[in-house]
Amino acid sequence: MLLHLPIAILATLSTIAVSDTVPKFDIVRECRLEGGSLIEFDGCSEDEGAALRELERSWAQFAGAGKRNCIASAAIGGFASYVELLTCLELARDANNADKGPLGSQKPDGMQLRAPGVSVGVGHDPITPGQVPGPGSR
């Protein structure tokens, strides 16, 4: 009997904590909690259904860490929304892809960090590090 205990513990601590399927949310409850007219309820139901279908098609392309964070975020406060889950996952995926940049570099050239104290913009003179702007600097 105790021989199975380590297996049970390891199974609960598995790194695959996110399901391979889209979580089940109660769309009817969600749309009713938003209140409003029957037309608004129908619109909410259509939006949630469309988001669910898109999630079912693209679920495998999202990273596990993004899934865990976004599922928790989409279900905050007892509300659960497929629209919020899909938006969160797409933003997380796009942010991850943007960090890779073109040709696998970490950041695109336009996003390179500049020296501290240097401002860049239209109509602004850059301030070099250590320089204090004076009254005639505008």
- Percentage of the chain surpassing pLDDT 90? 38
Residue-wise pLDDT for 54-88, tens only, equals 999 999 999 888 999 999 988 888 888 999 999 99
**Crossing angle of helices 38-58/82-100, nearest 10°?**
40
What own/partner pairs with CB < 8 Å and gap ≥ 24 does 54-61 have?
A: 54/86, 55/22, 55/82, 55/85, 55/86, 55/89, 56/22, 59/20, 59/21, 59/22, 60/20, 61/93
pTM here is 0.59
Residue-wise pLDDT for 19-50, tens only, equals 688 999 999 988 988 878 899 999 999 999 99
Statement: residue 102 has pLDDT above 80: no
Statement: residue 97 has pLDDT above 80: yes
What is the distance, to the nearest Å, from the Cα of residue 42 to the centroid of all Cα atoms in its chain?
Answer: 26
